[in-house]
Structure 1
Amino acid sequence: MMKFPTAFTEAPQCLQCCNAATTAAELKAALAVRREYVLPGMPMPYMEDVVRAFRVAQGAAVYIEIGTQDRGNIAWLAREKLARNATIIDIDYGVYSDSERRLATELKAQGFDYHLVRGDCLSDPVQEAVHSILNGRVADLIFCDSHYTYEHTISEFALYRPLVRSGGYLLFHDAQWPGRMDAKGEEAKKGKGYAILELDRFYPAWMVVGPDTPLHRPLPTSSWEGHWGTLAVFPC
C-alpha cells in the first residue's frame, strides 16, 4: 500500500466514518441487495469502496443518483441508509424497464417519494425536472455515476453541486479513471480522474479507494490500468 504524506490524509471529522475498513457485515448486506437487481449477463458490482463512502448517506432525506442502470444501488440505500419517506430522484439516460418497475414498486411499498427522470443529466429538460421535484429544497447527497469523460464531469459538478445542502455530500464514481489515449471513441478522451484533480484545486475532495486504503486527497494515477471504481467525496 502506498504511504501518504500526513497532509494528504487529514480528512475532516465529517468523513472519519469513511476511514474505517469495510466490514464483512456491511459488504454482505450491500451485495445481497445488489445481487437481486444485477442485470442478466452483467458482473456483480465492486462494493468495497462504495460501502465505505456511503456511510455518509445515513439518514439522508433527499437523495439524487445519476447513472442508475440496474437500480441496485438505490435499492440498497433505501433499505439500509436513507431516511424513511426520503425523496429519491433517479436520473438515467438508458431504458431498463424491468429494473425501473421493480424499484418503483419496492420504493412505493416502503413509502419513499420516488421520481424517475429520464434523459441526459446535463440537458435543460432534466435540469428543469430536477428543480421542479426539489421545489426549492436541496439534497443531502448526490451520487454521480454517469459518464467518465473530463468535460462531462466538470459540467456535472457545475450543475449539481449547487443542489447539495451545506453539510451535505457530492460523490463521483470511477473517480481515478484517466482515459485511454490508445483507445478509440470516447475512451480516448481525457478521463474523469483529471477532472477530479482539477476540481480538487478549489473544492477539496477525498478519495475512497478499496476496502481499507486511508482517505486521501486525489493523486494522478501511475498507470493506465486498473482505475475503474474508487469514489471521490466532496463535502459541501
Structure 2
Amino acid sequence: MDKYSSNKAYFTLVENEEWVIAAVVLGHSLRESETKAVLVCQVGRDVSDESRMLLQTIYDVVENAENYSFPDSKYNDFQDVPKRLAFSFRRLNAWRRTEFDRITYLDSDLFILKNIDLLFELPGVVAPREYDFRVWKNGKLFTDFFNGGLVTFSPSKKFFEKFNKILQSQWVYMGAAEQHLVNIASRDNWLRLPDNYHVQAGTIHNREYARKLEEAYVVHFSKISKPWGISYTGRTELWKSWKVFAMSWIDMLRDYEQKSGNCISPEQFGWQQYNKLRHIRKKSTGTTLGPTKAKNKTSFRIAHSPTKMAEIAVFKGAFQKVSELAPLIRILRRRRLRTVVEIGTFKGGTMWLWCQIAKDDANIVSIDLKPKNSMEKRIDKYLYGLAVQSQQISLVRGDSGNVQTKDQLVNKLGLSKIDFLFIDGDHSYQGVKRDFELYAPLVRKGGIVAFHDIVYHPNFPETQVDRYWNELRDKYRFREFIDLEDERGWGQWGGIGVLYL
C-alpha cells in the first residue's frame, strides 16, 4: 500500500465529455467532506486530454476505464445491453482492485453533502435500496435490489470471477446494465443503507428531503434530468424538489469554481433560464380518455426476440420475470390477436407488450381499479398512447369481481370474443376464481387465458393464485413457465400459467 495514502478508495466512472463536469462536482464534494480515502476516476476514450488534466487536480488517480470481458454464454448476450448503458459494465473492474481493502463506487451524477467514510467500516456489500423494484408486505415497502450507483465492497479476484460464472450459468437482466448481475452475486451479503445516505432526485419517495436537506448525506440524480442539462424533462410532481437538489449541486459547483479559479460552466444552465416547469416540459398533446385516434399515435411496432421484448416490457414497468414472459410471447406471436383483455395493468409494461404483439386493428382492453391519485391517472392517460397503427385502447375501471365491471367490458367488446385474456389482478383465491368465472366465458373457443403468480408464495400468504391454478390444470390443456432461480430476495414467487380453452 505504499503507492497510496489509504487502503480505502472512492471510484467513479466518466464515459465522455458531458460527464466531466459531474465528476468535478463529485470529486470536489468528496474533498469538501474531508474524506481520508483515495479518489480514483476512470475515464473513457472520448474524454479529452484537457479534461483529464482537470480531473487530475481533484482526483488522486485518473486512469483509463478498461473494457469488461463479457464471457460466452447461452443465457446472456452483451448485445442485449442498451448501448447507452454498455459503458457501465466497466464498473465491474473495480471489484478486482485488491490493492484496496474497501472501495465505494459512486456514480458521477451524485454529490456528497456530508462525510460518508463510515461506509468503509460497515461489513459486506453496503448499498441503498432501489425503488424501481418494490413490493408491499405487511403494510411496509421492501425492495429486492440495491442501486448500483453507490456500493461499498471488499474487492476480491474470487468475487470478481463470480460475475462471469453467473453470466455463464443463468439469465441476467441487461436492461439496467450490470446492476442485476451485481445484485445476484451479492444478495446474501447486502447491508441496506437508510434513504438519507442515498437521496434519489428521481423518485417520489425521496422528495421530502428537499425540505430537510441537512439530513441528507448523498443526492443522486438517477433516472431524472441532470442539473447541468439543457432542460428538465422529469415528472411534474418532482419539479420543485428536483430544483432544490439541483441548486444545491450548482452551489457545490460554484464553490469549486471559486476555490480553484477554474470556470467550467455557464452563468446559467438551460433549465434555469426559465425556472418554470411549463416552459421546459411540453404539455400533453391532448390525448383523451377514449379510443385512440390515428392522429394521436405515438407508439410504433418493433421487432425483437421474445427475450428482448420481455426485457423492454419489464423496463416499462411489467412486474414479471423475463425468463417467464419470453415463452408466453412466443406463444402469442403464433396467434392472430384481435381482442386482448388484461386484468391488472399496474404501470402498463405488459399492456405495451400486448399492443406490440396484437394485430394492427386489435382492440386491447385494460381492467383495473379506479385511479386513486394523480400518478395513477397519468398512467391511465399514458396507456392510450401505446396503441399501434389503428388499434383501439379501452379502459374499464372498477373492481374486476363486480358484475357491473364485466358489463362495462361486454359493452366495449360488442359481438367480439376475446382471443387472449391475461389475469393478474386480485391474487386472493376468491379473487382470481371470480375473475376466471366472470371473464373466461367471454374468451372464444381456441383462445387462451394466462395467469400470473401461479407458484406457491411462502413469503406472501395472501397470494393464493396457485390454489386455484392447481384446480384448473386438471380441466384444461395447459402450459407453465416457471423460473424459481430468479427469486430476487423475496423467496419463491411468479410463474405464468396458460390455459387453452
Whether these two folds match at TM > 0.5 is yes
2:496 alignment partner, one of 227, 231, 234: 231
User: Structure 1: any 5+ residue segments left out of the alignment?
Assistant: 1-21, 181-186, 213-224
Q: Which has the larger radius of gyration?
A: 2
Mapped contact 2:383–2:393 kept (Cα < 8 A): no
Q: What is the CA–CA distance in structure 2 between the aligned matches of 1:29 and 1:54, rounded to whole Å?
A: 8
| Secondary structure of the structure 2 residue equivalent to 1:193 | helix
- Larger RCO of the pair (alpha carbons < 8 Å, separation 6+): 1
Structure 2 partner of 1:73: 350
| Secondary structure of the structure 1 residue equivalent to 2:399 | coil
2:483 alignment partner, one of 210, 228, 233: 210
Q: What is the CA–CA distance in structure 1 between the aligned matches of 2:309 and 2:461, rounded to whole Å?
A: 36
Please tell me whether residue 87 in structure 1 is matched to residue 354 in structure 2. Answer: no
> In structure 1, what residue type is equivalent to 2:368?
D
| Secondary structure of the structure 1 residue equivalent to 2:321 | coil
Mapped contact 2:449–2:498 kept (Cα < 8 A): yes
Mapped contact 1:175–1:230 kept (Cα < 8 A): yes
Mapped contact 2:343–2:423 kept (Cα < 8 A): yes
Please tell me whether residue 200 in structure 1 is matched to residue 480 in structure 2. Answer: no
> In structure 2, what residue type is equivalent to 1:93?
L
Residue 151 of structure 1 deviates from its aligned partner by 1.3
Residue 106 of structure 1 deviates from its aligned partner by 3.3
Residue 67 of structure 1 deviates from its aligned partner by 0.2
Q: What is the CA–CA distance in structure 2 between the aligned matches of 1:44 and 1:174, rounded to whole Å?
A: 10
Mapped contact 2:344–2:423 kept (Cα < 8 A): yes
Residue 152 of structure 1 deviates from its aligned partner by 1.3
Equivalent residues, number: 189
Residue 130 of structure 1 deviates from its aligned partner by 0.7
Q: What is the CA–CA distance in structure 1 between the aligned matches of 2:452 and 2:320, rounded to whole Å?
A: 12
User: Structure 2: any 5+ residue segments left out of the alignment?
Assistant: 1-170, 172-303
Identity rate, percent: 23
Residue 155 of structure 1 deviates from its aligned partner by 1.4
Distance change >3 Å, CA 228–CA 111, structure 1 → 2: same
Distance change >3 Å, CA 179–CA 190, structure 1 → 2: farther
Cα distance per residue 1:63-116 (max 9 Å; x no partner): 00000010111112212x111110011011152222221220232x63211100
Distance change >3 Å, CA 188–CA 176, structure 1 → 2: closer
Distance change >3 Å, CA 46–CA 178, structure 1 → 2: closer
Mapped contact 1:50–1:231 kept (Cα < 8 A): yes
Q: CA RMSD in A?
A: 2.6
| Secondary structure of the structure 2 residue equivalent to 1:60 | coil
Mapped contact 2:339–2:364 kept (Cα < 8 A): yes
Structure 2 partner of 1:105: 385
Q: What is the CA–CA distance in structure 1 between the aligned matches of 2:475 and 2:493, rounded to whole Å?
A: 24
Alignment of 1:157-172 (within 5 A): 157-172=436-451
> In structure 2, what residue type is equivalent to 1:106?
L
Range 69-78 or range 59-68, more displaced: 69-78
| Secondary structure of the structure 2 residue equivalent to 1:110 | coil
Please tell me whether residue 191 in structure 1 is matched to residue 464 in structure 2. Answer: yes
Range 200-209 or range 118-127, more displaced: 200-209
> In structure 2, what residue type is equivalent to 1:99?
I
Q: What is the CA–CA distance in structure 2 between the aligned matches of 1:49 and 1:156, rounded to whole Å?
A: 22
Q: What is the CA–CA distance in structure 2 between the aligned matches of 1:32 and 1:190, rounded to whole Å?
A: 26
Please tell me whether residue 63 in structure 1 is matched to residue 340 in structure 2. Answer: yes
Q: What is the CA–CA distance in structure 2 between the aligned matches of 1:66 and 1:193, rounded to whole Å?
A: 17
2:329 alignment partner, one of 29, 54, 76: 54
Alignment of 1:106-145 (within 5 A): 106-107=386-387, 110-145=389-424
Mapped contact 2:452–2:494 kept (Cα < 8 A): yes
> In structure 1, what residue type is equivalent to 2:359?
A
| Secondary structure of the structure 2 residue equivalent to 1:234 | strand
> In structure 1, what residue type is equivalent to 2:494?
G
Residue 31 of structure 1 deviates from its aligned partner by 1.9
Alignment of 1:17-36 (within 5 A): 25-35=305-315
